[in-house]
Amino acid sequence: MSNQPHPVYHFPSIRKLWKPAAATGAGGASLILWFEEIIVFVADFIGVILLTILGGLICLFDNFIFKSRIPRREDLQDTKNNGVKN
C-alpha cells in the first residue's frame, strides 16, 4: 500500500468558484453568498421561462374559447334578399 493520499474529487462548479470566493472575503461565508446569488439567478431565469409558457397557454385558451365569436362566411351572407338590391 502506498502512503500517498488519494485526490478528493469535487463538483466542477466548486472547483471553479473556490478561488474567487476565497479572494473576496471570509471563505465559507462568501462561498455561501456566491451560491445564493447563483440560486437567485436560476430562480429568476426559471420564472421568465414559466411566464412565457403561461402567456402562450393564455393565448391558446383565448383563441380556442373566443374563436366561436368570429363571424363565419355563412353569417355574413344576406339570406333574406338572396342578393337582390332594392
Cα–Cα–Cα angle for 57, 46, 12, nearest 5°? 145
Binning the chain into helix, strand and coil, the percentages to the nearest 5 are 70, 0, 30
Q: How many helices (DSSP H) and strands (DSSP E) are in the chain?
A: 3, 0
Residue 63 inside a domain? The answer is yes
| 5-32 average pLDDT score | 66
Q: For residue 23, give its domain range.
A: 14-68
- Dump pLDDT digits (tens) for 20-76: 666 666 566 777 888 899 999 999 999 999 999 999 999 999 888 877 777 777 777
CB-based contact 31:21 (threshold 8 Å): yes
Task: Give the pLDDT confidence score for residue 47 in this predicted structure.
Answer: 94
Measured between alpha carbons, how far is 74 from 28 in angstroms, rounded to an integer? 73
- Count of domains observed in the chain: 1
Measured between alpha carbons, how far is 52 from 28 in angstroms, rounded to an integer? 37
Residue 18 inside a domain? The answer is yes
Residue 2 inside a domain? The answer is no
Question: At residue 19, does pLDDT exceed 60?
Answer: yes
